[in-house]
Structure 1
Amino acid sequence: MKGLLFLSRLALICNLLFAVCLVFQRIPETGLPDAVKGTVLVLGWILPVFINFSLIIAYLINALLRKATSVPAWLIITNILFFIAQVLIQIVFA
């Protein structure tokens, strides 16, 4: 279960970077180097959708098997809400 906790924390970081990517869309010049912008875009725009999807599957499997998890409930809810927002935004902007 430590792997699930680690992935949940990684997903939270990527979700926060997703919010930063949304800000980058509104602000054309941030003054950041291209390497930083590229890293934030990959970690914030592409990666969280896949991580959150796999986490939701893992959360569902744990719930169906009634296994105890060490992941706090607020972290699970936050990741699920970010996943819903990411899917909706990807559909709208696609």
Structure 2
Amino acid sequence: MPSLLFLARTAFICNLFFLLCILFKFWEVIGDQALAGFIIIVGWVMAPLLNLVFNVVFVIAFYKRKQPLMIPKYIIGFNVIIQLLQFIFIPFV
């Protein structure tokens, strides 16, 4: 399942950008508009989509597995917690 590991890592990185977007909502952190725009697109658009896809695929693979999944538990836990935060924050954007 190397593709699932890649998806988990990509969702993890996008979720870090999501946390930066939450920080941007309260403070002006970066003055560079191009960088801020990139972080906002990755955080508000890509992170929820990739995270939802990863969580659904992970649950399916978890129940159909024949061998242990080689995804670190901290990535799985982080992605699940951020998914819950996304369900809370995204409707209020």
TM-score by length of 2: 0.89
Q: What is the CA-CA distance between 1:51 and the residue it aligns to?
A: 0.4
d(CA) in 1 for partners of 2:15, 2:30: 22
Give the match for residue 57 of structure 2: 58
Number of residue equivalences: 92
Give secondary structure in 1 for the equivalent of 2:50: helix
Q: How does 1:1-94 map to 2 (within 5 A)?
A: 1-27=1-27, 29-67=28-66, 68-91=68-91, 93-94=92-93
5+ residue gaps, structure 1: none
The separation in 1 between residues aligned to 2:54 and 2:30, in whole angstroms, is: 34
Q: CA deviation at 1:37?
A: 0.6
- Output the CA distance in 2 between the equivalents of 1:58 and 1:31: 34
Deviation beyond 2 Å, 4+ runs, structure 1? 29-32
Counterpart code for 1:65: K
**Cα distance per residue 1:64-88 (max 9 Å; x no partner):** 1134211111211110110110111
| CA distance in 2: counterparts of 1:32 and 1:7, whole angstroms | 31
Task: Write the deviation string for residues 48-67 of structure 1: whole angstroms up to 9, x where unpaired.
Answer: 11101111111111111134
TM-score normalised by the chain length of structure 1: 0.88
CA distance in 2 between partners of 1:86 and 1:37 (Å): 19
